[in-house]
Amino acid sequence: MVEANDTEKSAQTVMRLERISRYGQVMGLRPGDLLLTIDGRRAGAKASRGRGETVAGNTRALLGLARGKAVWFVFSNVASLGAWAMVEHADPAPALPQAPTLARNWEVWCTDAGTYDLCRATPGLEDALVPYVLIKMRLWEACALWSTLLVVSVMLGGVLGIGLQVISWVYFWRMAPDLVRREWLLQGMHVSHVLAARSEQAAHRAVGTIAPDLTSRYGPVSTPAAT
């Protein structure tokens, strides 16, 4: 669960999503979702004053969003998600969330059966472990191609072999998220949400908060509580 600052529970002025853009739909947002924080600062009238450029959406920021009791984060600019309005929230506004550190965006890909899997939106250091990533994500064609290139680089030897191996390693590292997307699209999966989290386990916890009806397609996921 996302930790919150109880001292902010009395906040009433919030930004509400009035009209959603196509990009906002891809991110899993709905009209009526609330924008609570921008880069850890309250997205209310006082906090917005003097920060028009950020609120106007010209800067990519870590946004704290809420729907009912569910609170989550995503890296985006504000304007690309849709049209927002500053409103007085009738009910007590959700508590301001504590922003995660070293977070990145994760895409939640779903099947028609109501199961999901996670894909990093951008390559991370973990993706440099190319064989592990290809096997973990069940990218068998890409795994076969990488193995072939490895054998060829060994046969070439010398500078040519080392150069081929470095090029193939960098290619598969940088292309890992795109390879995953391509494979999942062929399987008929689609993106239901995009959220920011520090780790894969934290992303699974966030999915359980904002989409509790979804289950991991590889069975129950162990998600120890965040400390």
Residue with the bigger pLDDT between 106 and 221: it is 106
Tens digits of per-residue pLDDT, 110-140?
999 999 999 998 887 777 888 888 888 888 8
Q: Which residues pair with 86 in a beta bridge?
A: 15
Q: In the chain, pLDDT over 90 holds for what percent of residues?
A: 20
What is the reported pLDDT for 105? 93
Cα torsion through 178, 78, 18, 64, rounded to 10 = 90
pLDDT band for position 95 (cuts 50, 70, 90): low
What is the reported pLDDT for 37? 84
Please report, for the chain, the start and end positions of each structural domain, with discontinuous segments joined by +: 4-97, 104-216
| 227 has a pLDDT exceeding 60 | no
Number of helices and strands in the chain (H, E):
7, 12
Q: Which two structure tokens, joined as six digits, stand for 147?
A: 């193995």
Total length of the chain? 227
Q: Which two structure tokens, joined as six digits, stand for 139?
A: 């990218």
pLDDT band for position 207 (cuts 50, 70, 90): very high
What is the reported pLDDT for 47? 41
Residue with the bigger pLDDT between 219 and 204: it is 204
Contact 192/28 with Cβ under 8 angstroms?
A: yes
- If residue 123 lies in a helix (H) or strand (E), which one and from where to where? none
Q: What is the mean pLDDT of the chain?
A: 80
The 8 Å CB, 24+ separation contacts for 134-141 are 134/172, 134/176, 134/179, 137/176, 137/179, 137/180, 137/183, 138/183, 139/179, 139/180, 139/183
| 151 has a pLDDT exceeding 50 | yes
pLDDT band for position 158 (cuts 50, 70, 90): confident
What is the reported pLDDT for 57? 47
Q: 124 φ, ψ to 5°? A: -115, 180
- The span from the CA of 54 to the CA of 141, in Å, is 43
List CB contacts of 26: < 8 A, sequence separation 6 or more: 191, 194
Through-space distance between the first and last CA atoms of the chain, rounded to whole angstroms: 10
- The span from the CA of 194 to the CA of 214, in Å, is 14
Record: fold of 4-97: Pdz3 Domain (2.30.42)
Strands 13-20 and 82-88: antiparallel
Alpha carbon 35 to its chain centroid, in Å, reads 16
Question: How confident is the model over 181-208, as a mean pLDDT?
Answer: 91
